[in-house]
Amino acid sequence: MKVQFTETVLRDANQSLVATRMPFSDFAGALGLLDKAGYYSLECWGGATFDSCLRYLDEDPWERLRKIKAACPNTKLQMLLRGQNLLGYKHYPDDVVRLFVKKSVENGIGIVRIFDALNDLRNIQVAVDETLKNGAVASGAICFTISPIHNLDNYVKLARAMEGMGVHTVCIKDMAGIMGPQEAFDLVTALKQAVRVPIVVHTHSTTGLGLLSLQKAVEAGADVIDTAISCFSGGTSQPPTETLAYALRQQGWEVGLDFAALNEINDFFKPVRDKAIKSGLLNPLVMATETDALIYQIPGGMLSNLVAQLSAQNKLDRLEEVLAETPRVREDLGFPPLVTPMSQMVGVQAVANVLTGERYKTISNEVKNYIRGEYGKPPGEMNPELVKKVLGDAKPVTVRYADLLEPGLAAARAALGKTARSDEDVLSYIAFPDQALAFFKRREDKKKKTYTYSVEIAQ
């Protein structure tokens, strides 16, 4: 009996605990250790890492990926891709999606985990197809949630459809940590019976269920589980790598991990964590076990974003009201799973409803676009009064929204001109225009300073 591990410290643990603010310099020295530890994969890219590199860390996300790959030649690098949304909060044309996937693989990604926030599989088909064409592992991810309309049969249908697309693995993505041990056991059992591809399980420790749920998932036959090195585990992050590896090995499972290497990795990241605590970047709130999440179903990244959003407005005392409002907004929108970008959209709207003192007094453009059908088909029926307020007498989009979009690469290349050094620059610009342009300017300024200094030294 064998189970394999995906280490999340470079992406999801980083994102969930410290809002993806970990610069390359903080973890560069651990890459050799991570590469020899025996992991199935290192999740290190995608999600919010791309935006954070450009916006906060003054790093080229593509160069970051290349450097990680150079230091980790023996372990597959994994990214999280939001289907037709890529790494952003809207749908992109197919030509952009295809080039993004192609360049991700060329720059070092070996596994692309692809999901759609609504589990609308029309929105992952292009990314899956391009991943397969480029020889990487395509992992179709089912967003797990609990609602009156989400059940075992629906998840099995999704897995079968994904297998039909050609995915190499199916991942259960429990972004809020609300999947209990029995649910994990039952779901993995059902999927193992329904599909032939390996099953991957991803959860969070937010509610304290993570360790139990991953153990039961493995007992049901899960092939790969996501964990975080212990000093960056717990709270809104993943369950600890070493603890699960120890427990499962004790039960007779082959885990394939080098425990001495794990100890060195943990020792390396302890001062990184301590620095984040000292700076205030690691808020104690996100390290706590929060069983209220079983009611609110708020994922780790979403909770840390809500805390940051309210803190910036000196309204952190309204957090409980926002948490209570979140499931109400979710129900109004047809019970979408709370995963990016839906988690941000629902969270922002919940904050607006609370702080303005009137529900839907203001409605974000993203929520309006969702109601118009620009993100896909809502899982359930939306509040008709809210739909009427947004649409009036207009009809929502019912086709795959990307089919309505014009190709995007040519226009982006024309807009950038000589500013873009590569296709990667073009893709950065398409994903985050303002942040990318600011980064390109800083990069050019640094180049000029370096050139001037070199000339002065030569003279």
pLDDT tens digits, residue range 113-126? Answer: 999 999 999 999 99
pLDDT on residue 292: 78
At the topology level, CATH places domain 4-279 in TIM Barrel (3.20.20)
| pLDDT at residue 54 is higher than 80 | yes
Spatial neighbors of 173 by CB under 8 A, at least 6 apart, are 113, 115, 141, 142, 143, 144, 202, 339
Q: Which residue spans within 217-326 are E strands per DSSP?
A: 224-227
Alpha-carbon Rg for the chain, nearest whole angstrom, is 22
- Distance, CA of 407 to CA of 291 (rounded, Å): 45
> Which CATH number is 292-397 given?
1.10.472.90
Q: Which helix (H) or strand (E) holds 165?
A: helix 152-165
pLDDT on residue 338: 87
Contact 173, 139 (CB under 8 A): no
| pLDDT at residue 300 is higher than 80 | no
Contact 243, 211 (CB under 8 A): yes
Q: What is the pLDDT of residues 166-212, one digit of tens each?
A: 999 999 999 989 999 999 999 999 999 999 999 999 999 999 999 99
| pLDDT at residue 88 is higher than 90 | no
Residue 271 φ/ψ, nearest 5 degrees: -65, -30
Residue 156 φ/ψ, nearest 5 degrees: -65, -40
Sign of CA dihedral 248, 252, 256, 260: positive
Q: Look at residues 141, 156, 236, 229 and name the one whose alpha carbon lies nearest to residue 195.
A: 156
The distance of Cα 354 from the centroid of its chain, to the nearest Å, equals 27
pLDDT on residue 451: 56
Domain boundaries, the chain: 4-279, 292-397, 418-458
Specify the higher pLDDT residue, 218 or 289.
218
| pLDDT at residue 458 is higher than 70 | no
Contact 205, 238 (CB under 8 A): yes
Question: In whole numbers, what is the pLDDT of the chain averaged over residues?
Answer: 94
| pLDDT at residue 315 is higher than 70 | yes
| pLDDT at residue 457 is higher than 70 | no
Spatial neighbors of 314 by CB under 8 A, at least 6 apart, are none
- Angstrom distances, CA of residue 303 to CA of 6, 175, 222, 409: 23, 11, 28, 35
- Distance, CA of 384 to CA of 329 (rounded, Å): 13
- Give residue for tokens 């500013």: 419
pLDDT on residue 298: 75
pLDDT on residue 384: 96
Q: Which residue spans within 73-178 are E strands per DSSP?
A: 76-81, 109-115, 137-143, 169-173
Q: Look at residues 223, 206, 217 and name the one whose alpha carbon lies nearest to residue 168.
A: 223
Q: Look at residues 342, 436, 417 and name the one whose alpha carbon lies nearest to residue 380.
A: 342
| 3-state SS assignment for residue 335 | coil
In the structure encoding, which two tokens stand for residue 240, read together? 């600890």
In the structure encoding, which two tokens stand for residue 112, read together? 């692309």
- Distance, CA of 82 to CA of 103 (rounded, Å): 16
Average pLDDT over residues 135-148: 96
Q: What is the pLDDT of residues 224-271, one digit of tens each?
A: 999 999 999 999 899 999 999 999 999 999 999 999 999 999 999 999
| pLDDT at residue 407 is higher than 60 | yes
| pLDDT at residue 459 is higher than 60 | no
pLDDT on residue 306: 85
Q: Look at residues 229, 201, 228 and name the one whose alpha carbon lies nearest to residue 217.
A: 201
In the structure encoding, which two tokens stand for residue 74, read together? 């023996």
- Distance, CA of 260 to CA of 255 (rounded, Å): 14
Percentage of the residues of the chain whose pLDDT score is greater than 70 = 97
